[in-house]
Structure 1
Amino acid sequence: MQGATTGIGYGLKYQARCISDVKADTDHTSFLTGTLSLKEENEVHLIRVSSDGNELICEGLFSHPNEIWDLASCPFDQRIFSTVFSSGESFGAAIWQIPELYGQLNSPQLERIAALDGHDSKIKCVLWWPTGRHDKLVSIDEQNLYLWSLDTSKKTAQVQTKESAGMLHDLSGGAWDPHDVNNLTSTSDSYIQFWDLRTMKKTNSIEHVHARNIDYDTKKKYMLVTAEDESGIHIWDTRMLNFPVIELPGHAHWTWAVKCNPEYEGLILSAGTDSAVNLWLASTPYGDDTTSESSMESPSKNVYQMLNSYSDYEDSVYGLTWSSRQPWMFASLSYDGRVVVESVKAHLPRK
């Protein structure tokens, strides 16, 4: 099913790649996004959906010193977020805080709470503890995983443990398992690796797969979704990693991002370099307690639908996030700096 974008839009001045739902803001549907300009002063925009749902309003505009390659909002404090940024050839990561009275200030400045220093190679992403108020976060560079302890009151971040992924492959990103917060999954150029954060050791892997992006279904245990380099989307049962249990066709070009809905099981968004966002519904025939190979012999036993394709973009779509406050809404960000917020209410499965 094809459909032009009918959502509400907002334009950044410069190119951009990342957008994050502000989960801790329980009063508004709001998002943070950051720009990627090589020559201009970069910006972080705090944008909110208006009370009538008809427009996107800029609530705060803050200068950021470098190009923003990754941005993630703190899950328990709406004024705190992380960025991964570059300055020339060097990459860094930091935790920032929006000033409390930013709406009344002429030129509000972000406060840098902590720098995530000590990385030896190119930093890829920062992952916050998935639920509740917690002082742990993880940063991933091309070679290592770092587990940090963050103290926002003292404005310090300290490395608790660090582990190398090995010399064979460059790490590219990761996802924290919301069903077991001791588990984290990383992506690399040819592997998906599963880590136990208590020991910082690898527990399992999927070989010969290049996933650009991964996400866990928060409503269904053991369900991991990957955006594959060859344009497809794979859904895995993490207890059975020999093959994906569902294969979705994905996009006409690279599938860049996948996001599982925070409330509706099997509802998945994907974004790609074909300038489209696709909405999928995937259903698996097995329950949480099924562990036999025979029940998952073939991906063809599983059912999926493409519910809609949002195709009114003029550039690659790299940024994608659901709203946790209104889980029938999502925000997408194309490389030309265009933010679009859509409602998927018409496509929701009936409960």
Structure 2
Amino acid sequence: MAEGRGASHVYGIERHTLCLASVVGNAARNRFALGTLGISEPSEIHLVDFDDDEGVLQSLVYKHPRGVRALAAAPWDPAQLLVVVGGGGGGPPGGAPVELVALPDVPAGALPSPEAPEQPTALVAELRDTAPEAMAPHAVVAHPVAQYREAATVSSAGVRVWDMAQTGPLATHTLSAARHGMDDLEAAAWHPAAAAQLATADGMCVRAWDLRADPRSQQTMAVEYAHSGKVRCLDYNPNLPYLLATGGDDGAVRVWDARSPAGALLDIGNHTHWVYSVAFNPNHDQLLLSAGGDGLVNLESVVSASSAQLVAGMAGSSVRDPPGEASAEDSGSEDEDNGIGRATDGLVAQLDDHETSVYAARWSAADPWVFASLSFDGRLVINTVPQAEKLRILL
């Protein structure tokens, strides 16, 4: 069922969920996909549309034969998803595969009425790792640029890179955990402007890789102790891809400069439990989402680690003033007169719409001011960036 609660819009299902994806390829729709674990009931994939003009949520539900542990949207086709089926951990060689599935009859416009009958997903291909050391993947990431058609699967044994442009998925690279001394490999993120570069998180370490050095991919950066606990998530700044955000079991969110990673550029401590998700805004990179085991979704302003800082520098002005101070040329500005102020680093909003751990927070691919978050109890919450912060960014 869906309900509106002021600035928050809730889509709730009575099923356990871990994964959420923003569906790309449709610039007119705020569309998200979530998968259920199917622990004690058949698993499902829900496609959810949000109309921010009307504040209306609609959905299509697809039956899926196995539980959904993780998923990623396929940028090359808005009706396809990469799905990590339930399980994870050990198992036979190759374990359970990652599936490329199609969602039948997905309309380009608004989704049909809630009474639309459920349909099964359609299997397009399997990404099955047959290497002797292979283990069941627990995560999958698709390169955000559709033309690259690359995906990476993550397991405890390593990261496997797949070329999705072939007749069938073709494994092209392997980052072996054993060979590269990685322990407890958790997550990966694609460099937004390069087809052969990605970052990984293992234990407390964050690494960056250049896959062009195949067959022994070159490590280009490593932060051995990025967090005092396990690193759970990471994301590249889409406009300044040498910047990387991470979240860890210490409750911290940090931003790193891969060119000089000796210390974090920003250290944000607004969570009280493990951080499961971090995401830069794809358009306005001074906005950063995070979500965690404390049930909170935090919207942060990270102006000092964004392209806005560079733009302001080229214009000959400073983005940030010391707290309580303003430059002489700004003291009588129209922005100040209107009470808008200027964007600075800090917490923009802390959302407590969830009652259990929040495992994912994602920006809409259609509207840069819309974002969604998903908690373990099947609660999807859609919010928008506060109007005052939008004005600070745009004016």
TM-score, scaled to structure 1: 0.87
Q: In the alignment, is residue 322 of structure 1 matched against residue 363 of structure 2?
A: yes
Q: In the alignment, is residue 204 of structure 1 matched against residue 221 of structure 2?
A: yes
5 Å matches for 1:105-254? 106-118=117-129, 120-151=134-165, 154=167, 156-166=168-178, 167-199=181-213, 200-209=217-226, 210-254=230-274
Structure 1 match to 2:100:
95
Give the conservation status (yes or no) of the 8 Å contact 2:291–2:359: yes
Give the conservation status (yes or no) of the 8 Å contact 2:76–2:149: no
Question: Using the alignment, how far apart are the partners of 1:328 and 1:142 within structure 2?
Answer: 35
Give the conservation status (yes or no) of the 8 Å contact 1:223–1:236: yes
**Identical aligned residues as a percent:** 26
In structure 2, list runs of 5 or more residues that go unmatched. Answer: 314-343
Structure 2 match to 1:300:
none
Give the conservation status (yes or no) of the 8 Å contact 2:233–2:246: yes
Give the conservation status (yes or no) of the 8 Å contact 2:221–2:258: no
Question: Using the alignment, how far apart are the partners of 1:5 and 1:269 within structure 2?
Answer: 20
Larger fraction in helix: 2
Question: Using the alignment, how far apart are the partners of 1:255 and 1:87 within structure 2?
Answer: 22
CA pair 51-321 structure 1, distance change in 2 beyond 3 A = closer
Q: CA deviation at 1:243?
A: 0.8
Runs of 4+ in 1 over 6 A off after TM superposition: 101-105
Q: CA deviation at 1:222?
A: 1.4
Q: In the alignment, is residue 265 of structure 1 matched against residue 281 of structure 2?
A: no
Give the conservation status (yes or no) of the 8 Å contact 2:182–2:202: no
Q: In the alignment, is residue 81 of structure 1 matched against residue 75 of structure 2?
A: no
In structure 1, list runs of 5 or more residues that go unmatched. Answer: 291-302
Structure 1 match to 2:17:
16
Q: CA deviation at 1:55?
A: 2.0
Give the conservation status (yes or no) of the 8 Å contact 1:215–1:225: yes
Q: In the alignment, is residue 284 of structure 1 matched against residue 304 of structure 2?
A: yes
Moved more, 127-136 or 35-44: 127-136
Question: Using the alignment, how far apart are the partners of 1:101 and 1:206 within structure 2?
Answer: 42
Structure 2 match to 1:296:
none
TM-score, scaled to structure 2: 0.78
Report the AA paired with residue 157 of structure 1: P
RMSD: 2.4
Larger fraction in strand: 1
Report the AA paired with residue 316 of structure 1: S
Q: CA deviation at 1:178?
A: 0.7
Structure 1 match to 2:330:
none
Question: Using the alignment, how far apart are the partners of 1:87 and 1:182 within structure 2?
Answer: 29
